[in-house]
Structure 1
Amino acid sequence: MNQNYIKPDSWSIIEEGFDKDLVKSSESIFSLGNGAMGQRANFEETYTGETFQGSYIAGVYYPDKTRVGWWKNGYPEYFAKVLNAPNWIGVGIKVNGEVFDLNTCKNVSDFKRELNMKEGLYKRSFKAVLPNDAHIKVDVLRFLSLNIDEVGAIEYTVTALGTDLEIEMEPYIDSGITNEDSNWDDKFWETTSVKSENHQAFIEAHTMKTNFKTCTFMQASFFVDGETVELEPSIDKGELRVGHSYSQVLKEGQTIALHKFGGYIVDRNHPGKDLVKVAQETLSKASELGFDELLKKQKQSWADIWEMSDIAIEGDVKAQQGIRFNIFQLNQTYLGRDSRLNIGPKGFTGEKYGGSTYWDTEAYCIPFYMATKNQKVARNLLKYRYNHLEKAIENAQKLGFSNGAALYPMVTMNGEECHNEWEITFEEIHRNGAIAFAIYNYYRFTGDYSYIPEMGLEVLIGIARFWYQRANFSKQKNKYVILGVTGPNEYENNVNNNWYTNYLAQWCIDFAVAQLEKVQDSFKDDYKRVVGKTQLTDGEVSQWKKVAKNMYFPYSEENGVFLQQDGFLDKQLITVSELPSAQRPINQKWSWDRILRSPYIKQADVLQGFYFFEDHFSVEELQKHFDFYEPFTVHESSLSPCVHSIQAAKLDRMEQAYKFYLRTSRLDLDDYNKEVEEGLHITSMAGTWMSIVEGFGGMRVKNDQLSFEPKIPEQWSSYSFKVNFRNNIIKVSVRKQGAEFELRGNDTLTILYNDAEIDLRPGVPTKAS
């Protein structure tokens, strides 16, 4: 199968030619979202070939009962399923009585899909010959409105070719859907009403168990050769579906266009008893604007997003297409408007992984949202974790922890752990550290300390209590150790003293203690409130310090590196370059037993620590650890290439950094992991942004100042990006000859360029070489 079929283009994702084998992959790649809902790029019309139907509503999920062979105490009760929602995009087509289906057509020509990222539009066009020899031309335009985010719009046009044709179009909505991903084949939805009136239709349905109430709605209008036509439908209404069939005879060359508005109203945002009424009001709002005006507003909204978040690359179209695709999908998934939501690893593109948030949000996504939005967006992501603190304490209690110790879940929708694999659920506890680091990272970048006394200090106390209880004293080592963990490298389970986990534990305690002292000095009322609420004592804090001060770190004197875990050197250390390509990827070719005994690293582990805490180590130490661990890294996690790209750039290994960048930016477009049909890797896309801004651009915060040490890949003639640093917008442009900085704001700003201070004045480009 050709996985490298996307045409290079700087602003669009383009597929040319109809290939049934690529339909599911394209359904992922051409997905749409607007932060409130999203859908795979399924065909609107009937398609009987291989397809993965998927429409999703933000925050709506189902607690699918955990399926395990042997129940363990503390196990999550359920796996939170991202729910396939009722389908509103459907448009059944008949031509001279024959169902139009690309899978059964005699011929399909001039097939083209385009995801216009600049304007947030999905287009499809082709010519087809049906089994009854009818010839048609079809053009489809679809978008999910950013302005009325409960509404999506479709323009579906059919042109008669060669002869007069009778065209029947049936816009419909359907709640008779199932999840691809289900543990027990449970019924996820209960449909309670199906209504049809005045070219509009409404299906009310609620989720089982979680009882989210939804109203799926639609409205249709028609045009022949651009002129409005009043057509009366025949109505087909069942228990789970309602369709309106409209019939029109087209003369040769004539075109009929359907404008369909559809979408979801949810009781997360509206009273459950009023959903149909709100849907009617929403349709009225969309109708008053009309399709063309809504489209115009869509283009403007995306122009506003790109104005701040675009990264422009000259001289390398595939690299340019890759970064824009990643930025586009991140903005389709999460816009920061609702602090109850988070960034799911598949966004609105598939069901795998379940849950709405992983540690990916704190480790990878927050830097992107901090720098390309206002700081409120990143603050909302931190607020999300504060709102789930009680659940994190409950999660820890289930595992035997006490006294307010908090273990944040590996996977969650509502704060409860809902991950199904014990070696991850119980042991991949470094996720706690990523949350504490995000609090630090947010303050470091935005300068907004207020989150810590208001909310963050309670989170840090809960996390410090967890690490204190999770460590135990080893008489043999005369140090505190952390046993039975899985680090970021998930190809090692149940290991002792994962260096990254131990280092994070020590840092989290030290950071929590430092913030306690700072809040006590400067925010006395908050300190009194938090200490009273958490029942924290000086004696308890002293015990934390003892653990942090005496934490054990595995180290190899022979190699001069920290060891990934106690037993790493016991492995047969054969590098990835010595692995036959036929055995890759090992997660698809090897038994789990063989993987666990191998030295192969799924993603940055020790090097993840060197990424977070770069300023704790010298460049020479980074180089030594990079040279030791990267040769064993198979990069079979979407989160892996970006960290290695940043570090290779730091080490002036630009060719290697560039290769890693291409891998992270085109992971889904070129389907490196041969799994794109399951959905996109949304959270790792923020790592692609980091690869350019932090890797090639060398952006850091040093001594409370924004700092850049830019480099440029040989393949590029220039690149530019913008960051919002403490309400100062700085545009950074890098060429082979040097860099240029342009400040937008009212005040001057001093930044560091290769460790030298430069004063930026608003509106005055400043060259540096």
Structure 2
Amino acid sequence: MNQDYIVPDVWSIIEEGFEPSRVKSSESLFSLGNGAMGQRANFEEAYSGPTFQGSYIGGVYYPDKTRVGWWKNGYPEYFAKVINAPSWIGIGVTVDGEALDLNRCTEIKGYRREFHMKEGWYRRSFQARLRNGARVAVEATRFLSMAHGELGAIKYSITLLEKGGTIALEPYLDSGITNEDSNWDDQFWQSTRVVSEGARACIEAHTLKTFFHTCTFMEAHLTLDGAEIGNEPEVREEPTYVGHRYTVEVPEGQTLTLYKYGGYTVDLNHPKEGLMQAAWKVLGTARKKGFDGLLEEQRQAWARIWEMSDITIEGDVKAQQGIRFNILQLNQTYTGRDSRLNIGPKGFTGEKYGGSTYWDTEAYCIPFYMATKDQFVARNLLKYRYNHLEKAIENAAKLGFSKGAALYPMVTMNGEECHNEWEITFEEIHRNSAIAYAIYNYYRYTGDYTYIPDMGLEVLIGIARFWYQRASFSEPKQQYVILGVTGPNEYENNVNNNWYTNYSARWCIRFCLEQLRKVKDGYQEDYRRIIGHTRLTEVETEKWKKVADQMYLPYSEEHKVYLQQDGFLDKELIPVSELDRTQRPLNQKWSWDRILRSPYIKQADTLQGFYFFEEHFTLEELERHFDFYEPFTVHESSLSPCVHSIQAARLNRMDQAYEFYLRTSRLDLDDYNKEVHEGLHITSMAGTWMSIVEGFGGLRVINDKLNFHPRIPKQWKSYSFKLNFRGRILKVTVTPGKASFHLDAEEEMSIRVNGNRVVLPPQETVHV
């Protein structure tokens, strides 16, 4: 059974009723972020029940030493981890000397959480009876400012419902924190200074080993029934803690409200010695604008985001809620302002996967950011990889590759490989292909070729060199093979000739050779610079071409399909439909040995190749491969349902496409994989967007033109989305039997719909 406690609503994520068993899941689902920092939806007041405390700062990480049974040459020395940062959200609450703690209250009523996605704020409210008999009503509203990346704000209100009493509120900062996910339980932070000045306070701390310097700061003020209270706080200072305690006599029925502003300044953006001054400046802005002013800025910032990125669905509340939740979290995770940052699979919602960069960014996320923002955001994601090219060459050298061959890391914070599972670190080398594909995809969509001579060609050369060296010649086959790999299906390790890996390697080499010719013809100065730097010769590129032309691709004549890898047909081919449901998910129920010997596919593997290189295959070939592989696919990766949804839609299997769409859009809301308490699946959320735009909308870019094959699930009355295509905004609306296109541009644009040319005049809507 999937969880179903989230109330369906088109613009809000809502939880009603307090259940301690749901606290960790809700901390994930209601997570906040603004691209620069994020936090799980932990309570402001104390909570003694099970909780996963997490506040995170973009770009700040710790190299947690790898934990393995025995060492292997080339093994990464550490696993980079986004780490739980000092917390600024805490507010100690006592009523007549009794601490407010929902885990210890004798009665809780009216408990409700709401994340208002349209306006970007989170609110929690409840009534509770404390153990001393006091009865209170609490409402806490919180947001991380999209307008001011270093700032967050809290409005915490408490009302005594049955009699007056003494309320003490202690806003505090705490740097004595630990990580939920740690290999050796190391101390990650060193606190160096605790400062309290009037209503303001800060803690300066730095990470050990990486020495990121931070200043966590706060300022608070109180009102009673709207009137400002000016009493001085009692200051409590410890080496990793500073609290300002305000004690107020509160009559029955009156509301005591604490406004708290907090956040982080970091030496990524400020001089180390100026972090406190920068923090005071942020607090000055916050105090001047006030909570209501900052909230209005937040509404306006989110209105601008939704104006471009919203997808509307009419007639299906759960589907609408799902896609908006996904779009919200993608925008909370990455804004595109800073090319040093990237998109971790968990974003700012948890610590699994280390908060690092995976191939997910290039394979799944770039299309969303290209189409809903502008090309410079996507270009920044590609620039991130260019900036790490030298590290990618170092990574390959550690494994024995030479002459500038580049192996991009499976997991990274700074370009170094830092994944600590050998079958991923050494074998899941197809990540290289996703980076090359992203360069192609960026140029195909934006028309901006300049990235390739500026940066991309050097990346492509490093990748091509790697594939040339990684392939070996098989005398029996008289072809080149790639041995000992893990494909996208991580339920297979150390296989030979994974079709997706071999096919994409061949494509990478050919794409690089094509770009070398184009840059030589059109960008001669860049070409000379690149050839001089890489020392590339025609003799070398001829060797590459030979490998590409003679690459072995496993194929079954019996089934008329490419085989996922050598030996796939030796497995006992029992479809997933015949598995006992109690055995799922396999990764939580079966031994690894049993999984590896099974035919079960974690996520699209061969079909991933059919998604990337769709134009290389006929519809009949897609159908044959889909029918062969999907029945063995357990979709136990968050990245799986979206690819299958897109392909099912292309095959006009709309019931199946819809089912996969719902699964990807509500993967976390309904907790399909029983792991949402660990954090959200941020990168797969971009796949949800693709399921609608590329799947149901049928969007493709062919010969510099937008092509659509619109379809609509029978459960929907309509859906619409917007695209920023080369500076022109196109809104697409699909209803049963009709598609409408509105062009927001100064010049007409031609598109193709179901293969037919359609001319769109500027500022007009055309119905097809």
Shorter-chain TM-score: which interval? over 0.9
Aligned equivalents of 1:447 and 1:257: distance in 2? Answer: 53
Aligned equivalents of 2:217 and 2:398: distance in 1? Answer: 42
Aligned equivalents of 2:502 and 2:550: distance in 1? Answer: 11
- Alignment partner, residue 416 of structure 2: 416
Q: Secondary structure at the residue paired with 2:658?
A: helix
Q: What pairs with 1:755-766 in structure 2 (closer than 5 Å)?
A: 755-766=755-766
Q: What pairs with 1:347-366 in structure 2 (closer than 5 Å)?
A: 347-366=347-366
Shift of 1:267: 0.2
Aligned equivalents of 2:554 and 2:56: distance in 1? Answer: 45
Q: Deviations over 1:686-707 (max 9, x none)?
A: 0000000000000000121001
Aligned equivalents of 1:700 and 1:719: distance in 2? Answer: 18
Aligned equivalents of 2:279 and 2:328: distance in 1? Answer: 28
Whether contact under 8 Å (1:355, 1:411) holds in the other structure is no
Shift of 1:2: 7.3
Q: Secondary structure at the residue paired with 1:354?
A: helix
Whether contact under 8 Å (1:104, 1:130) holds in the other structure is yes
Q: TM-score, normalised by structure 2?
A: 1.00
Q: What pairs with 1:694-705 in structure 2 (closer than 5 Å)?
A: 694-705=694-705
Q: Does residue 307 of the first structure (1) align with residue 307 of the second (2)?
A: yes
Aligned equivalents of 2:525 and 2:227: distance in 1? Answer: 67
Shift of 1:356: 2.2
Q: Secondary structure at the residue paired with 2:283?
A: helix
Aligned equivalents of 2:579 and 2:573: distance in 1? Answer: 11
- Alignment partner, residue 69 of structure 2: 69
Q: Does residue 327 of the first structure (1) align with residue 322 of the second (2)?
A: no
Aligned equivalents of 2:154 and 2:325: distance in 1? Answer: 22
- Alignment partner, residue 658 of structure 1: 658
- Alignment partner, residue 563 of structure 1: 563
Q: Secondary structure at the residue paired with 1:335?
A: coil
Whether contact under 8 Å (1:38, 1:57) holds in the other structure is yes
Aligned equivalents of 1:570 and 1:759: distance in 2? Answer: 53
**1:765 corresponds to which letter in structure 2?**
T
- Alignment partner, residue 298 of structure 2: 298
Shift of 1:765: 0.5
- Alignment partner, residue 484 of structure 2: 484
Aligned equivalents of 1:417 and 1:46: distance in 2? Answer: 38
Q: Deviations over 1:251-297 (max 9, x none)?
A: 11100110000000000000001111111111111111111111000
- Alignment partner, residue 31 of structure 1: 31
- Alignment partner, residue 210 of structure 2: 210
Aligned equivalents of 2:131 and 2:2: distance in 1? Answer: 28
Q: Does residue 530 of the first structure (1) align with residue 530 of the second (2)?
A: yes
- Alignment partner, residue 466 of structure 2: 466
Aligned equivalents of 1:664 and 1:316: distance in 2? Answer: 15
Whether contact under 8 Å (2:7, 2:14) holds in the other structure is yes
Q: Secondary structure at the residue paired with 2:53?
A: coil
Q: What pairs with 1:741-756 in structure 2 (closer than 5 Å)?
A: 741-756=741-756
- Give the length in aligned residue pairs: 768
- Alignment partner, residue 44 of structure 2: 44
Q: Secondary structure at the residue paired with 2:354?
A: coil
Aligned equivalents of 2:92 and 2:355: distance in 1? Answer: 33
- Alignment partner, residue 721 of structure 1: 721
Shift of 1:229: 1.4
- Alignment partner, residue 5 of structure 1: 5
Q: Deviations over 1:212-244 (max 9, x none)?
A: 000000000111111111121101100100000
- Alignment partner, residue 256 of structure 1: 256
Aligned equivalents of 1:82 and 1:678: distance in 2? Answer: 14
Q: What pairs with 1:131-530 in structure 2 (closer than 5 Å)?
A: 131-530=131-530
Aligned equivalents of 1:353 and 1:704: distance in 2? Answer: 37
Aligned equivalents of 1:317 and 1:47: distance in 2? Answer: 33
Consecutive aligned runs of 4 or more in structure 1 exceeding 3 Å deviation: none
Q: Deviations over 1:619-641 (max 9, x none)?
A: 00000000000000000000000
Aligned equivalents of 2:353 and 2:675: distance in 1? Answer: 13
Aligned equivalents of 1:399 and 1:165: distance in 2? Answer: 68
Q: Does residue 613 of the first structure (1) align with residue 613 of the second (2)?
A: yes
Aligned equivalents of 2:45 and 2:148: distance in 1? Answer: 25
Aligned equivalents of 1:435 and 1:103: distance in 2? Answer: 47
Shift of 1:737: 2.4
Aligned equivalents of 2:148 and 2:714: distance in 1? Answer: 43
Whether contact under 8 Å (1:346, 1:680) holds in the other structure is yes
Shift of 1:355: 4.2
- Alignment partner, residue 626 of structure 2: 626
Gaps of 5+ in 2: none
**1:490 corresponds to which letter in structure 2?**
E
- Alignment partner, residue 114 of structure 1: 114
- Alignment partner, residue 586 of structure 2: 586
Whether contact under 8 Å (1:341, 1:356) holds in the other structure is no
- Alignment partner, residue 640 of structure 2: 640
Whether contact under 8 Å (2:2, 2:672) holds in the other structure is no
- Alignment partner, residue 552 of structure 2: 552
Gaps of 5+ in 1: none
Q: TM-score, normalised by structure 1?
A: 1.00
Whether contact under 8 Å (2:2, 2:670) holds in the other structure is no
Whether contact under 8 Å (1:204, 1:213) holds in the other structure is yes
Whether contact under 8 Å (2:214, 2:264) holds in the other structure is yes
Whether contact under 8 Å (2:63, 2:210) holds in the other structure is yes
Q: Deviations over 1:574-625 (max 9, x none)?
A: 0000101011111111000000000000000000000000000000000000
Aligned equivalents of 2:4 and 2:347: distance in 1? Answer: 23
Aligned equivalents of 1:662 and 1:559: distance in 2? Answer: 31
Whether contact under 8 Å (2:603, 2:639) holds in the other structure is yes
Whether contact under 8 Å (2:138, 2:158) holds in the other structure is yes
Query: Which sits farther off after the overlay, 30-39 or 346-355?
Result: 346-355
Whether contact under 8 Å (1:355, 1:418) holds in the other structure is no
Aligned equivalents of 2:505 and 2:529: distance in 1? Answer: 25
In angstroms, what is the RMSD of aligned CA positions?
0.6
Aligned equivalents of 2:100 and 2:693: distance in 1? Answer: 47
Q: Secondary structure at the residue paired with 2:552?
A: coil
Aligned equivalents of 1:4 and 1:165: distance in 2? Answer: 39
Aligned equivalents of 1:605 and 1:198: distance in 2? Answer: 59
Q: Secondary structure at the residue paired with 1:67?
A: coil
**1:605 corresponds to which letter in structure 2?**
D
Whether contact under 8 Å (2:453, 2:523) holds in the other structure is yes
Aligned equivalents of 1:48 and 1:231: distance in 2? Answer: 30
Classify 1:18/1:282 alpha carbon distance in 2 versus 1 (closer, same or farther; 3 Å).
same
**1:103 corresponds to which letter in structure 2?**
N
Aligned equivalents of 1:95 and 1:705: distance in 2? Answer: 65
Whether contact under 8 Å (2:81, 2:356) holds in the other structure is no
- Alignment partner, residue 81 of structure 2: 81
Shift of 1:198: 1.1
Q: Deviations over 1:399-423 (max 9, x none)?
A: 0000000000000000000000000
Aligned equivalents of 1:355 and 1:609: distance in 2? Answer: 26
Whether contact under 8 Å (1:58, 1:341) holds in the other structure is yes
Shift of 1:341: 0.2
Aligned equivalents of 1:658 and 1:3: distance in 2? Answer: 19
Q: Deviations over 1:53-82 (max 9, x none)?
A: 000000000000000001000000000011
Q: Deviations over 1:429-484 (max 9, x none)?
A: 00000000000000000000000000000000000000000000000000000000
Whether contact under 8 Å (1:8, 1:321) holds in the other structure is yes
Aligned equivalents of 2:708 and 2:190: distance in 1? Answer: 55
Aligned equivalents of 2:369 and 2:114: distance in 1? Answer: 26
Q: Deviations over 1:664-685 (max 9, x none)?
A: 0000000000000000000000
Aligned equivalents of 1:586 and 1:101: distance in 2? Answer: 38
